[in-house]
Structure 1
Amino acid sequence: MAQKAAKVLAVRNGAVLRRTHLISAALHFNFWMLHFVFQRPRSLKPYFFLAMPTLAIQYYLDRMGRPTYNEDGSLRSAGEDLNATGLTEYMWDVLYWTQGCMVAACLFNDRAWWLWAVIPIYSVYAAYTTVMGVKKGFSGMGGGDAGQEADAPKSKTQLKKEKRGSSVKYR
C-alpha cells in the first residue's frame, strides 16, 4: 500500500503516453501514406514546419512523465503529473490542435494547415489575460485605487447601524 498515489500516477502517465504515441504514429503514418502511395498533391513544408515540432513536445512530455522502475520492478519515480496546469497543459493543447490540423490536412488539403494559426493567437490572448489579472491583483495592495473603500460592500451590521442613525466609523 506504500506509495499508492505514486503508483496510480505512474499507471496513468504510462497509459496517457502510450495512447498519445499510438495516435501520433497513426496520424503521421496516414499522412505519409496519402503523400507517397496515393500521390495526393501536398507540400511537405507545412508538415515539417508545423507537425514536426510536436514530436519534440511529445519527447519532452515523455521524458517528464514516463515512470521509471528499479531493476527489481519497484517504482523509482512516477514522473511528473501530465495533467498539471500551466505549461504542461498548454503543450497538450498544442499537441492536440496539431493532430487535428493533421487530420484536416489529410482529409482536405494543405490549406488546412492554416488552422494552426490559432495557436499563436491563443498564446497572445492567454498572455494578455494573465498580465491583466496580475495587474488587477496588484492594484488592491495599497498603491492602487483609493476610491475602492467607498464602493466596498457593507455588512449587515453596518447597514443596521446606519439605519438607526448611529455613527459608523470606517477604517
Structure 2
Amino acid sequence: MAQKAAKSLAVRNASRLKQTHLITLAVNTIFLFLRFTFRRSLSLKRYILLSIPALAIEFYLDRAAQPSYKSDGTLRSAGEDLDAKGLTEFMWDVLYWTWINVILVIILGNRAWWLYLVVPGYAIYAAVGTASGLKGMLGGMAGGGGEAVDGAPQSQSKRQAKMEKKGGQRMAYR
C-alpha cells in the first residue's frame, strides 16, 4: 500500500515539475523576445536580478521532488512532496509571484518591477506573525512570581491563592 502512495506521489511530482518548467520557459521566452524586439526599454538587469531567486527555487524543487528509480526500473524514492506546508509553500508563492511580476512588467513596463517588493514584505509579515505567536505561547512559561514584565500584577488561580494563604507550598519528604 505504501508503494502505491509513493508511485502516486512520484507521478504527481513529475507532472507538476513538467508544468512548472513549461510555464517558466514560456514566461521567460516571451519576456526576452519582447525585450529584444519590440520593447527595448524593458530592463534586462532587473529581469536577471529578480528572476534568479525564482530560477534557484525551481532548481531546488526539481532536485528535491524528482523521483529516483533503481536500475531495474522500480521506484527507489518518490521525492519530496511539492504540496508540503511551510517553506515549500512559500517557495511556490515566490515562484508564482515572479511569473506574475514578469507578465506585469511586459504589460505595464519597468515600473512594475517595484511590485516584486511584495515578496519580502510578505516574508516580514509572516515572520512578525510567527514571532508574536511564539511570544504569546511562551509568555505563560516565562513568569514565575507575582508581577508581569510590564509591572502589572498577574492573576492567580484559586488553588495558587489558597496555597499562598496557607503559607506556600510545602515539600513532603519520605
Question: What TM-score do the two structures reach when normalised by structure 2?
Answer: 0.81
> Aligned in 2, Cα 1:103/1:39: closer, same or farther, shift over 3 Å?
closer
Question: Which segments of structure 1 move beyond 3 Å, counting only runs of 4 or more?
Answer: 144-150
Q: Counterpart amino acid of 2:5?
A: A
Asked if 1:64 is matched to 2:64, the reply is yes
The count of aligned residue pairs is: 153
Asked if 1:15 is matched to 2:9, the reply is no
What is aligned with 1:155? Answer: none
What is aligned with 1:129? Answer: 129
Pairing 1:111-122 to 2, within 5 Å after superposition: 111-122=111-122
Q: Distance between the aligned counterparts of 1:67 and 1:115, measured in 2?
A: 35
Q: Which runs of 5+ in 2 are unaligned?
A: 161-174
Pairing 1:130-149 to 2, within 5 Å after superposition: 130-141=130-141, 143=143, 147=154, 149=156
Q: Counterpart amino acid of 1:91?
A: M
Q: Which runs of 5+ in 1 are unaligned?
A: 151-168
What is aligned with 1:6? Answer: 6
Q: Distance between the aligned counterparts of 1:65 and 1:15, measured in 2?
A: 11
Q: Counterpart amino acid of 1:11?
A: V
Identity of aligned residues (%): 52
RMSD of equivalent CA atoms: 1.8
Q: Counterpart amino acid of 1:147?
A: Q
Q: Distance between the aligned counterparts of 1:72 and 1:28, measured in 2?
A: 37
What is aligned with 1:98? Answer: 98
> Aligned in 2, Cα 1:137/1:34: closer, same or farther, shift over 3 Å?
same
What is aligned with 1:42? Answer: 42
Offset from partner CA, 1:50-82 (integer Å, 9 cap, x none): 012211110001001111112222111100111
Offset from partner CA, 1:87-125 (integer Å, 9 cap, x none): 111111111001100010111211111110011111111
SS in 1 for 2:76: strand
Query: How many Å apart are 1:43 and its aligned residue?
Result: 1.3
Query: How many Å apart are 1:2 and its aligned residue?
Result: 5.2
What is aligned with 2:24? Answer: 24
Q: Distance between the aligned counterparts of 2:155 and 2:137, measured in 1?
A: 13
